[in-house]
Chain A
Amino acid sequence: MPLMPAWTRKLSWQVVAVSAVMAGIIHIASTLIVPKLATASAYHRLSAALPVNSMRVLPPATATTQVLPFVGPDVRLAVCRYDVSEGPVQISAVLPESGWTLGLYTPDGDNFYAITAQELRRTDVRFTLAPPAERFLGLFNWGRTADTTTTQITVPQTTGVVVLRAPLRGRAYQYETESMLALAQCAKQKA
């Protein structure tokens, strides 16, 4: 009794080898292309709902107000959709207690910068988002006064989102949490 089915005798080992290599190429290409083809990404959803370079406190997540999937009502968000193509954008926020985080995301959802509140210590955050080439333009200070008092973060792409995330520790804290989120600002840097 033969160990292998009869049809395998017609099979070329070169075809199997080329197929395996092609499978690898298709695997890698399709994995890398998924983020580029996604039309319902978090960035797309927020882009549709938010103005540019302005911080907005999102409403408490309910079945009718939920903006992002898999975000429950135990977290409140303030979000700024930034665009540094016409100049740097200034961000400021307060992280009053542990659990609060501020993250910067590219449109592909890469969290390229994050800061978290220190335990039992209020953290005031202020920084400037600079376009990818801003470091070099900054050497010549074209038409702008260099701001040396704040941290400058060079963003990998000209657009993205700033997300201030606050844990909501019960309805009694809702007003206080919203007030602290509302202190966050995002605006184009004045010339």
Chain B
Amino acid sequence: MLVNVIVFVTIAIAGGLGTSWYMIEKGSRLTTRTAGPWVTWVSAGRPQADPYTRAHHIRRGILPVSSALTQTFEAMTDSEGQALYSSCEYLVEGEEPQAFWSLSVFDESGRLISNQAERYSFNSTTLMHGPSPRIQIVVARDARPGNWLPTGGGGRLSLHFQVDEAPSSLPGAEPSPPPLPVIRRIACR
């Protein structure tokens, strides 16, 4: 009898709630696309969005722009799979998309991280380019030369890479995935 009760509670309640939490928080192949550390919810902000996508965004207080217009990618880890922390320094590097893009850093609750420079992001017009037309942004607590995104005291970090629909996209066509930068951990305190 006791075995049956324990099995019922484990499968029905823990299994039901646990899988629901996982699908809402992390998503699955049905609802998200993953490329390295970057995750995007494929039907975000669309009228036909699935219940997991809706719950994910409403729970986090996000008002999503339709993923047909702007693709939003979130990274909570570096390219090696290690969680992003404000006590570490990262280099975000990669090919630059053709459309308007922005890279913003938040704490894990989506708050901008207070800093004296009042710098929270870079985009395709504010990025300082080196000799090559590539994205090179250092995410670090202390000031760095070049494109520096401050992260002092943020705890766990969330990087958001947003890319508008490419101007050449056909109306109604699904946007093709943009080139996504890699996130390399340089050092940790």
Task: Tell me the A residues contacting B by CB distance below 8 Å.
Answer: 7, 10-12, 15-16, 18-20, 22-28, 30-32, 34-35, 38, 40-46, 61-64, 66, 68-75, 98-99, 101, 103, 105, 108-112, 114, 116, 119, 161, 163, 165, 167-170
Contacts and interface: CB of A to CB of B under 8 A. Distances in A.
A129 B164 CA distance: 27
A28 B117 CA distance: 46
A69 B111 contact: yes
A26 B13 contact: yes
A169 B123 contact: yes
Interface string B60-96: 1111111011100000000000000000000000000
B46 to A, nearest CB: 6
Interface of B: 3-4, 7-8, 10-13, 15-17, 19-21, 23-24, 45-47, 49, 51-52, 54-55, 57-66, 68-70, 100, 102, 104, 106, 109-115, 118, 120-121, 123-126, 158, 160, 162, 164-165, 167
B16 A24 contact: yes
A68 B62 contact: yes
A84 to B, nearest CB: 18
Which of the listed residues A18, A62, A69, A105 has the most CB atoms from chain B within 10 Å of its own CB? A69
A112 B59 CA distance: 19
Which secondary structure dominates where chain B touches chain A?
A: mixed
A62 B61 contact: no
B130 to A, nearest CB: 19
Contacts of A23: 11-13, 15-16, 19
A179 to B, nearest CB: 18
A27 B13 CA distance: 9
Which secondary structure dominates where chain A touches chain B?
A: mixed
A110 B3 CA distance: 44
Contact of B63 (A42, A112, A116): A42
A66 B55 CA distance: 22
B63 A163 contact: yes
B164 A31 contact: no
Which of the listed residues A19, A66, A70 has the most CB atoms from chain B within 10 Å of its own CB? A70
A34 B55 contact: yes
Nearest to A165: B65
Given A63-B112, A116-B69, A163-B63, A111 B46 contact: yes
Contacts of A170: 123, 125-126
Which of the listed residues A20, A74, A98, A163 has the most CB atoms from chain B within 10 Å of its own CB? A74
Nearest to B50: A31
B45 A69 contact: no
Enumerate the 9 nearest inter-chain pairs by beta-carbon distance, A residue then B residue, closest first. A69-B110, A26-B16, A72-B104, A22-B12, A19-B11, A63-B114, A74-B102, A42-B63, A70-B110
A119 B51 CA distance: 33
A13 to B, nearest CB: 10
Given A31-B23, A42-B58, A44-B61, 18 more contacts: A7-B3, A11-B3, A22-B8, A22-B11, A23-B19, A26-B20, A34-B20, A42-B61, A62-B112, A70-B158, A72-B120, A73-B112, A74-B121, A98-B167, A109-B58, A109-B62, A111-B65, A114-B65
B3 to A, nearest CB: 5
A73 to B, nearest CB: 5
